[in-house]
Amino acid sequence: QVQLKESGPGLVKPSETLSLTCTVSGGSSISSAYYWGWIRQPPGKGLECIGSIYFSGSTFYNPSLKSRVTISIDMSKNQFSLKLSSVTAADTAVYYCARSEAAGSPYFGSWGHGMLVTVAS
């Protein structure tokens, strides 16, 4: 059973860069044919997909965040990462990492527990 766990600072100052890492375990290799994604949820609001990366390194980004987002993959550590630059209070949210099937109509079948990141000075 694949397990995903988010890690990183829970508090980021405005204008700085939010950096999170998702560690994949439980027998699933990040080099397998899946998409690895980041989804966030502002307090009291719905789910927003930030972007995803395929095991080959190709990426999809939310157009509204594209200029500030980088998702990368580290196969040696079985991890993938999110960087979101120039953050504001509007980026305060619970950030989830998740694994998506790649074939057919992809969906996120496995999720991390989520991590609250607060943007404040």
Partner 1 sequence: SYVLTQPPSVSVAPGQTARITCGGNNFGSKSVHWYQQKPGQAPVLVVYDDNDRPSGIPERFSGSNSGNTATLTISRVEAGDEADYYCQVWDSSSDLPWVFGGGTKLTVL
Encoding tokens for residue 77?
Answer: 């550590």
Encoding tokens for residue 91?
Answer: 């980026």
User: Which residues share a beta bridge with 37?
Assistant: 52, 98
| Min CB(50)–partner 1 separation in Å | 8
At 91 the three-state DSSP class reads helix
| Min CB(40)–partner 1 separation in Å | 11
At 53 the three-state DSSP class reads strand
| Min CB(75)–partner 1 separation in Å | 23
Please report, as ranges, the residues that interact with partner 1 according to CB under 8 A: 37, 46-49, 51-52, 60-63, 66, 96, 100, 104-109, 111-114
Cβ closest to partner 1, residue 13 vs residue 47: 47
Encoding tokens for residue 52?
Answer: 């995803």
| Min CB(74)–partner 1 separation in Å | 22
Phi, psi of 90 (to 5 degrees): -65, -15
Distance CA 52, CA 99 (A): 9
Cβ closest to partner 1, residue 55 vs residue 111: 111
